[in-house]
Amino acid sequence: MARPYTETFVRSYTAATYVRWFCPVGKRAVLVSVVATGNGAVAGQVSGWIAGIPIARIGVQATFAAITLNMRAVIYGGQELLTYISADGIAGTWSGYLFDDPTNATGPPGALQVLTPPQVEELPAELR
């Protein structure tokens, strides 16, 4: 049986710096919350990507603020959560659950295929 753990995956406040967290192989993470905060001095952004796909960009105004974004995003074993803080005085916290994954999945089931423009034309009209 998979055991869930509540985790803070990344907590960052360093401006213009990428912070990476890798889901351990044999585990599966579910990102459920991103909290972006500002100290009131500057405006900025907290951004994040899972396996290179953008999942969040939260703008924080130059007022004291805390903004919470609730989500359900899966991070498979070996995949990366990459985060970025755009300005001093802005912070981001990424948290969720970490589960044991006896299947050792490294990505979603099935294969993704990127269609190039000529292939798109081959799709039925209702899918274009």
The residues spanned by each domain of the chain are 4-127
What is the overall mean pLDDT for the chain? Answer: 87
Residue 46: CB atoms within 10 Å: 27
In this prediction, residue 124 carries a pLDDT of 64
Pick 120 or 49 by higher pLDDT: 49
> Is the model more confident about 115 or about 60?
60
CA atoms within 13 A on the CB side of 127: 7
DSSP string, 7-32: EEEEEE--TTEEEEEEPPTTEEEEEE
Distance CA 115, CA 123 (A): 10
**Per residue in 35-85, pLDDT tens?**
999 998 999 999 999 999 999 999 999 988 899 999 999 999 999 999 999
pTM of the model: 0.80
Overall average pLDDT of the 95-116 stretch: 79
The CA distance from 72 to 86, in Å, is 24
CATH classification code of 4-127: 2.60.120.340
